[in-house]
Structure 1
Amino acid sequence: MGWQWLKSLIYVIQVYLAMLVLGLVFLPWAALSPQGARVACRSYAAYAMWSARWMLGLHHEIRGDIPTDEVLIAAKHQSFLDILIIFYYAPVAKFIMKRELLWTPIIGLYAWRLGCVPVDRGKRGAAIAKMIADVEKGRAQPGQLIIYSQGTRVAPGAYAPYKVGTAVLYQQLGQPCVPAATNAGLFWPRKGILRKPGVAVVEFLPRIMPGMSRDAFMAHLEHEVETRSNQLLHEAGFTPKE
Structure 2
Amino acid sequence: EKGAFTGAIRQTKGRFEQANNGTLFLDEVSEISPPNQVNFLRVLEDGCFCRIGGESPIRVNVRIIVATNKDLETEVKAGRFRKDLYYRLKVIPINLLPLRKRKEAIPHLVNNFLERFAKLYKKPRVSVSSDVMEYLMSYDWPGNIRHLKNIMERMFLMAQESIINVNDFPEDIMDVVSFDPGENHGQETHNPTASSFDFAAHGPIEPLRKARQRLEKTVILRALEVASGQRAMAAELLEIKPRTLRQKMSEYGIEFRRKRKRGQTKL
Normalized against structure 1, the TM-score is what? 0.24
Which of 1 and 2 has greater Rg?
Answer: 2
The higher relative CO (CA closer than 8 Å, separation ≥ 6) is in: 1
TM-score (norm 2): 0.22
Which has a greater percent of strand? Answer: 1
